[in-house]
A and B are shown apart, each in its own frame.
Chain A
Amino acid sequence: MKDANNEQGFVVFDHVQKSYDGEVLVVKDLNLSIGRGEFLTMLGPSGSGKTTCLMMLAGFETATHGDILLGGKPINNIPPHKRGIGMVFQNYALFPHMTIAENLSFPLEVRKMGKSERDQKVQRALDMVQMGSFGSRRPGQLSGGQQQRVALARALVFEPELVLMDEPLGALDKQLREHMQFEIKRISDDLGITVVYVTHDQTEALTMSDRVAVFDDGRIQQLAPPDQLYEAPENSFVAQFIGENNTMEGVVKEIKNGVALVQLDGGDLIDAKPINVSKAGDRTRVSIRPERVEYNRDRLHKDAHTLKAEVLEFIYMGDIFRTRLRVGKNEDFIVKTRNAPDQVRLKPGQQIEIGWLPEDCRALDA
């Protein structure tokens, strides 16, 4: 993982706002700094403004307010074709009336490059995505995955320093998708380019990125490396959005030694790590990952708080067991356990007690 701080601010969004209709702000006060060579992913639900940010960076939309800087210079007034930013579109946008080689040669032609140099670069770019022998075909004669690779090659062939990708793998099936994730990551690392990548898919975001910016409602909710994002979500939106998550609501009773005592709405008391709560009396939503829930009393701390639960369903998934519990009124409390030789297999109807380490349970905003 590259340290985003070693060359701060190759791309900078500085207090950027965007409205299409003058009534609603689609992007609200976006501040983001992307380091050179970084792979940054924008992740968020549909309509959260990811594409809009990308379009502003590429120059197809203008920011209503604020500055976008590229390499330290504001680019608000530079037209798209002079920005030198490579772009991969969701539907690939390969020109249907040109062959693959012509598609790749297009950016070089408009840069007035000589024919032999062009051919050489086109071939090299095609070889890089393992499409070397497809130069004379038309986009319509390629499969989705092949088109995707060509689109990638086309965005890279003129050697831009910054490449934007807007859900480039959205149309592919799962297997091809995973393969392409790997390819994109490999190529971007090899070439040392900066990538801003947009996706809906959290797995994609977690596996590929140096840092992930979680978008919602026109704001970045959290900007962090994947492991931090998963293990230390800063608010309940991020906790909900990334990975599976159990939540319970309650009120903070007291905060002592970095541990918050939370009284759930059902009356039970639990321990949690205070994140967005500061004092007794704050309402909170606590969040705990299913794999961090423990029901083997022996493995819990002696005086840890526990909750009573009833097993509703036990699902065998091969590598893991997935157990659905009723905890208080919540019938959707999930516990995941590894399929280890000594693992207990719970049975529906069984009454158990569950608990966790205080640092695994995060008291977030309500």
Chain B
Amino acid sequence: MSDATNNGPVLSADGMPLKRSLAKALRREKLRALMLIAPLLIFVLVTFIAPIADMLFRSVENNIVEDTLPQTVVALKKWDSKSGSVPDEPVFTALAADLKVAVEAKTHTKLGSRLNYEMTGISSLLRKTGRRVDKWDLEKDAPFKEKFVDVDKDWADPEVWAVIKVFSSKYTSGYFLNAVDLQKTPSGIEPRDEDQRIYITLFMRTIFMSLTIMFSCILLGYPIAFLLANLRPKTSNLLLILVLLPFWTSLLVRTSAWKVLLQQQGVINDILVWIGLVDDGNRLIMINNQFGTIVAMTHILLPFMILPLYSVMQTIPVTYVRAAKSLGATNWTAFWRVYFPQSVPGIGAGCILVFILSIGYYITPELVGGTKGVFISNRIAYHISSSLNWGLGAALGAILLAAVLILYWAYDKIVGIDNVKLG
């Protein structure tokens, strides 16, 4: 700092502020670096960022009602859903016109499935009505109110109209509300029926089981990592291969192996019965429940705990423990006060890896989880590929993503993310 006597910015040799000339010099390098990573960047954008953005968008998007029933939506604006009466003739006229177009384009069934998420029965109502509307003449057959009620008396139910009106806006919070066991009704947000509330439980279960898996991984992984880090290199290399072995086996094979081991006629039960520990009549149920999922997933995710722990422990010099002992600490004190605190960054890294992997895990819970041991991800998969309720699937996924980010943030606040070391 000896030559920084003037208070102005430091100048380079040609009189340009040093910061600017430095930035200029660095720009070329930055550009070159950007070019180098461009392929990966584009790949990630197209295959990762874009789908996630699309998914987040789908969780609130709701164009279908307005696109399929444009005139009806406008006509319904004047109707008060709380009045308790059926809308007037103009609404029915508009609906007839909209449905005629929709039936032509076959979009009324899609609308039916969408609205069916909110009120069961609307899908069949629309399909049934669609078939009849096709034959009507818009000019001659008016008025339509009677005719609709004739087709199905549900059209005289103000509830049906209320649902159409509530979900006629372009964006909706409906999916998110569904995802947390609430629903949007004409009279505001209400909890769902008791028997339909599953998602909160599922979220809680997912988090609880992921935490259990994480702690099991710490308990099982810590001693192994400790051994690995402290054995002679030759022995520890062999052990490391054993740790990595599961990585080279198909996930499906490993999971199925647990089925073989844990099922009621499986190896473990057989052995227990043979020893006499368990009565043949009431063999233990260890699979298709939470226990099965926790066991199988702990096994599968264990390497993700061991490896970061191992690489952190390898960097802890043996002299620390020796120093502690020479200062008078017993083996346990030396471990607990000196070694353990220094391995915490490895535990942190392992926990983050295992927890985040397990919170979104799908295959294993699907195969060994039964009904009690499935995760939220299994429900998301169900909505994406079976029920085709993508909006709800997207909302569940978005909540999961948010939950992970919040936990990550909390971890950063409590432990500090720069405390995480992978090696």
Query: Is residue B233 within 8 Å, beta carbon to beta carbon, of the partner chain?
Result: no
Q: Mark B305-327 against chain A: 1 for CB-CB distance below 8 A, else 0.
A: 00000000000010110111111
Query: Is residue A91 within 8 Å, beta carbon to beta carbon, of the partner chain?
Result: yes
Q: How far is the CB of A57 from chain B (nearest CB, A)?
A: 10
Query: Is residue B300 within 8 Å, beta carbon to beta carbon, of the partner chain?
Result: no
Q: How far is the CB of B34 from chain A (nearest CB, A)?
A: 35
Nearest chain B residue, comparing its CB with the CB of A164: B326
Query: Is residue A58 within 8 Å, beta carbon to beta carbon, of the partner chain?
Result: yes
Contacts of A230 in B (CB 8 A): none
Query: Is residue B84 within 8 Å, beta carbon to beta carbon, of the partner chain?
Result: no
- Count of residues in B whose CB is under 8 Å from the partner chain: 19
Q: Of A106-114, A195-203, A285-293, which binds chain B?
A: A106-114
Is the CB–CB distance between A96 and B342 below 8 Å?
yes
Is the CB–CB distance between A80 and B320 below 8 Å?
no
Is the CB–CB distance between B327 and A107 below 8 Å?
yes
Q: How far is the CB of B325 from chain A (nearest CB, A)?
A: 4
Q: Of B8-16, B260-268, B329-337, which binds chain A?
A: B329-337
- What separation, in Å, do the CA atoms of A89 and B330 have in the docked complex? 19
Q: Mark A88-130 against chain B: 1 for CB-CB distance below 8 A, else 0.
A: 0111010111000000001100110000000000000000000
Is the CB–CB distance between B317 and A93 below 8 Å?
yes
- What separation, in Å, do the CA atoms of A83 and B325 have in the docked complex? 9
Pick from A86, A93, A106: contact of B322, CB under 8 Å:
A93
Is the CB–CB distance between A110 and B330 below 8 Å?
yes
Query: Is residue A154 within 8 Å, beta carbon to beta carbon, of the partner chain?
Result: yes
Is the CB–CB distance between B328 and A111 below 8 Å?
yes
Q: How far is the CB of B82 from chain A (nearest CB, A)?
A: 64
Contacts of A96 in B (CB 8 A): 342
Is the CB–CB distance between A158 and B327 below 8 Å?
yes
- What separation, in Å, do the CA atoms of A89 and B321 have in the docked complex? 12
Contacts of A110 in B (CB 8 A): 327-330, 333
Contacts of B55 in A (CB 8 A): none
Contacts A93-B317, A95-B338, A106-B337: A58 and B322 contacting too (C-beta < 8 A)? yes
Contacts of A87 in B (CB 8 A): 322-323, 326-327
Is the CB–CB distance between B322 and A89 below 8 Å?
yes
Query: Is residue A187 within 8 Å, beta carbon to beta carbon, of the partner chain?
Result: no
A-B contact count (CB 8 A): 63
Contacts of B333 in A (CB 8 A): 110
Contacts A93-B320, A95-B320: A81 and B338 contacting too (C-beta < 8 A)? no
Is the CB–CB distance between B329 and A81 below 8 Å?
yes
Query: Is residue A316 within 8 Å, beta carbon to beta carbon, of the partner chain?
Result: no
- What separation, in Å, do the CA atoms of A321 and B341 have in the docked complex? 57
Nearest chain A residue, comparing its CB with the CB of B329: A110
Q: Which of B371-422 contact A (CB under 8 A)?
A: none
Contacts A81-B328, A110-B330: A89 and B323 contacting too (C-beta < 8 A)? yes
Q: Which of A283-331 contact B (CB under 8 A)?
A: none
Q: How far is the CB of B233 from chain A (nearest CB, A)?
A: 13
Chain A binding surface SS class: loop
- What separation, in Å, do the CA atoms of A187 and B206 have in the docked complex? 61
Interface centre among A59, A60, A90, A93 (most CB of B within 10 A): A93
Query: Is residue A140 within 8 Å, beta carbon to beta carbon, of the partner chain?
Result: no
Query: Is residue A193 within 8 Å, beta carbon to beta carbon, of the partner chain?
Result: no
- What separation, in Å, do the CA atoms of A80 and B328 have in the docked complex? 8
Nearest chain B residue, comparing its CB with the CB of A91: B319
Q: How far is the CB of A257 from chain B (nearest CB, A)?
A: 54
Is the CB–CB distance between B326 and A80 below 8 Å?
yes
Contacts of A158 in B (CB 8 A): 327-328
Interface centre among A80, A87, A97 (most CB of B within 10 A): A80
Contacts of B326 in A (CB 8 A): 58, 80-81, 83, 85-87, 155
Query: Is residue A349 within 8 Å, beta carbon to beta carbon, of the partner chain?
Result: no
- What separation, in Å, do the CA atoms of A89 and B320 have in the docked complex? 9
Q: How far is the CB of A298 from chain B (nearest CB, A)?
A: 56
Contacts of B320 in A (CB 8 A): 93, 95
Nearest chain B residue, comparing its CB with the CB of A90: B319
Pick from B322, B337, B341: contact of A60, CB under 8 Å:
B322
Is the CB–CB distance between B317 and A91 below 8 Å?
yes
Nearest chain A residue, comparing its CB with the CB of B323: A93
Is the CB–CB distance between B317 and A84 below 8 Å?
no
Pick from B322, B328, B330, B342: contact of A107, CB under 8 Å:
B328
Q: Which of A67-90 contact B (CB under 8 A)?
A: 79-87, 89-90
Contacts of B341 in A (CB 8 A): 97
Pick from B324, B330, B342: contact of A106, CB under 8 Å:
B324
- What separation, in Å, do the CA atoms of A154 and B342 have in the docked complex? 19
Contacts of B337 in A (CB 8 A): 106
Interface centre among B323, B330, B334, B341 (most CB of A within 10 A): B323
- What separation, in Å, do the CA atoms of A82 and B330 have in the docked complex? 8
- What separation, in Å, do the CA atoms of A83 and B330 have in the docked complex? 11
Contacts of A84 in B (CB 8 A): 328
Q: How far is the CB of B68 from chain A (nearest CB, A)?
A: 64
Interface centre among A58, A79, A95 (most CB of B within 10 A): A95
Contacts of A154 in B (CB 8 A): 327
Contacts of B317 in A (CB 8 A): 91, 93
- What separation, in Å, do the CA atoms of A95 and B338 have in the docked complex? 7
Is the CB–CB distance between A89 and B328 below 8 Å?
no
Q: How far is the CB of B323 from chain A (nearest CB, A)?
A: 4
Q: How far is the CB of B211 from chain A (nearest CB, A)?
A: 25
Q: Mark A153-185 against chain B: 1 for CB-CB distance below 8 A, else 0.
A: 011001000000000000000000000000000
Contacts of B328 in A (CB 8 A): 81-82, 84, 107, 110-111, 158
Query: 4 smallest A-B Cβ distances: which pairs?
Result: A107-B327, A93-B323, A87-B326, A93-B319
Interface residues of A (CB under 8 A from B): 58-60, 79-87, 89-91, 93, 95-97, 106-107, 110-111, 154-155, 158
Chosen A-B contacts, 21 in total, with CB atoms closer than 8 Å, are A60-B322, A81-B325, A81-B327, A81-B328, A82-B328, A85-B326, A86-B327, A87-B326, A89-B319, A90-B319, A91-B319, A93-B320, A95-B323, A106-B324, A106-B329, A107-B327, A107-B328, A107-B329, A110-B327, A154-B327, A158-B327
